[in-house]
Amino acid sequence: MSAATIRRGGATSRKGKRKSPGRSLKRRSRVDRFLAGLPFSDVTLHKIGTWAIMLLIAASLGGLSWFMGLPGIAHQEFSDLARKAGFEVKKVEVRGIERMDELPVYAIALGQHERSMPSVDLEKLRSDLMKLGWVEDARVSRRLPDTLVIDIVERKPVAVWQNKGKLSLVDVRGTVLQPVDLSSMPDLPLVVGPNANMHTAALNTLMAAAPALKPMLAGATWVGNRRWDLRFQTGETLSLPEGSGEASAALVNFARMDGVNRLLGRGIVRFDMRDPDKFVLRLPQTQDAMAVKSKDEAVTPENLADGEG
C-alpha cells in the first residue's frame, strides 16, 4: 500500500515536472509571434541589433574620451597640423572703415589665442568687434590659407553730446562713439544735458518738420528731461513746449513767422513759445520780455523795433 502510494506520488511529481517545458515553450512562442509581427526580416533585425550594439559601444567610448580630455588633445593636434600646413592667421584685411580708428579692430583680430585658421571662432570674434562704439555691424570670414577678412559697418555721427563737461560724438540712437576735443569740434549740432544723447533721433524728427531752420541750428539743450531749447547760429534761443506734437507745431509756426518777418539775426536774445497762446521775445537792451498773442496779432518789424505787444 505504501509502495503504491509512493509510486503515485512519484508519478505525480514527474507530471509536475513535465508542465515547465510547456510553459517555457508558450513564452517563447509569444516572443516569436511578436518578432514575426514586426515589418522586418530576420536579416534586418540582426542588422538593427548589430548597429545598436555598435552605437552603444561608440557612445561609451565617446563618454570615456570626453572624461579623459581626449577631444581637447585631438583639437590641439588638429590645430598644430593646420598651422604646419600653412593654414595660420598671418593677415587681417579690414574693410568699410572711414572714420573710426582701425587699430582696435586689428588688436581684437590678432589678439585672439587661437591662430590656426580652421580653429578661429568667427562668432566670438564678431561679438568682440560689436563691443566697439563705432561698430554698428560686423562680418568676419576666412580667406584661406592665411587671411581673416573683416567687413565693418560704421555708425554715423549726427551730433556732439555735452554732459558734465565732457564732449562725445553720438549717433542717431545716442550711442557714444568717441570723445571729442574742444579744439577739433566737428561741424555737427551740439546737444546738451543729461540724457540728451538718447533724444537725438527725436531732435532730428523735430527739425525735419522745419527743414529751412535745420541748417541754422547750432545746438539744442534737453531741459528737465522733457523739452528742447534750440540755439541758432545767429545767437538766438528758442524755447519749445513739452510734447513732440506741441514742439513740432510751435517750430513750424516759428519757421513761418521767420520766413515772413525774418526773426533770426535781429539781435533778439530769446524766443519763448512754451505757452501756446503767447509768443514771448526777450530783447538784449532792457532784458524785458514782450509778449505777442500769436493767434490775434502778427509779429512785425515795427512791433520788434518799438518793443510793443
Q: How far is CA 290 from CA 96, 129, 173, 295, in A?
A: 54, 55, 38, 15
User: Span 171-188, mean pLDDT?
Assistant: 89
- pLDDT given for residue 299 in this prediction: 52
Residue 301 pLDDT level (bands cut at 50, 70, 90): very low
Domain assignment present for residue 73? The answer is no
Q: Are residues 129 and 164 in the same domain?
A: no
CB 237 within 8 A of CB 269: yes
Q: Based on DSSP, count helices (H) and strands (E) in the chain, helices before strands.
A: 8, 13
Minimum mean pLDDT among 13-27, 43-57, 216-230, 271-285: which range? Answer: 13-27
Do 297 and 161 fall into the same domain?
yes
Residue 34: give the domain boundaries.
Answer: 2-68
Residue after which a domain boundary falls, among 68, 103, 124: 68
Same-domain status, 124 and 145: yes
106-160 tens-digit pLDDT: 999 888 766 777 778 899 999 999 999 999 999 999 888 888 999 999 999 999 9
Q: Which residues pair with 250 in a beta bridge?
A: none
Residues 231 and 300 in one domain: yes
Q: What b/e string do you get for 280-292 counting C-beta neighbours within 10 Å, with b at 16 or more?
A: bbbbeeeeeebeb
* Whether residue 165 sits in one domain with residue 278: yes
DSSP for 36-63 reads HHSSS-HHHHHHHHHHHHHHHHHHHHHH
Task: Choose the final residue of a domain: 17, 35, 68.
Answer: 68
- Tell me, yes or no, whether 125 and 59 share the same domain: no
Rounded mean pLDDT of 205-226?
94
Task: Render 161-219 in DSSP notation, one character per residue.
Answer: EEETTEEEEEETT--EEEE--GGG--SS-EEESTTGGGGHHHHHHHHHTSTTTGGGEEE
Range scoring the smallest mean pLDDT among 10-14, 63-67, 207-211, 273-277:
10-14
Model confidence pLDDT, tens digit, residues 24-47: 445 556 656 665 665 656 666 566
Of the candidate ranges 49-58, 112-121, 164-173, the one whose mean pLDDT is the lowest = 49-58
Task: Tell whether 170 and 280 lie within a shared domain.
Answer: yes
Same domain for 94 and 129: yes
138: domain CATH number is 3.10.20.310
- Distance CA(114)–CA(83), nearest Å, equals 10
> Which residues contact residue 140 at a Cβ distance below 8 angstroms, ignoring those fewer than 6 apart?
122, 125, 126, 129, 148, 149, 150, 151
Residues in the chain: 309
CB atoms within 10 A of CB 13: 9
Across the chain, mean pLDDT equals: 78
Does the pTM surpass 0.75? The reply is no
Q: Has residue 176 been placed in a domain?
A: yes
Amino acid letter, 108: I
Residues 134, 13 share a domain = no
Residues 193 and 280 in one domain: yes
Q: What is the pLDDT of residue 184?
A: 81
User: Same structural domain for residues 161 and 301?
Assistant: yes
Residues 147 and 173 in one domain: no
User: Which tens digits make up the pLDDT trace of 233-292?
Assistant: 999 999 999 999 999 999 999 999 999 989 999 889 999 999 988 999 998 865 555 555
In this structure, is residue 77 part of a structural domain? no
Number of domains in the chain: 3
Domain stop point among 154, 180, 209:
154
pLDDT in tens, 72-111: 555 555 455 555 555 677 889 999 999 999 999 999 988 8
Query: How far is Cα 49 from Cα 66, in angstroms, rounded to an integer?
Result: 26
DSSP category for residue 84: H
CA distances from 38 to 31, 41, 55, 85, 117 (A): 11, 8, 22, 53, 50
Helix (H) or strand (E) holding 111: none
Q: State the pLDDT at residue 306.
A: 40
Asked if pLDDT for residue 218 goes beyond 70, the answer is yes
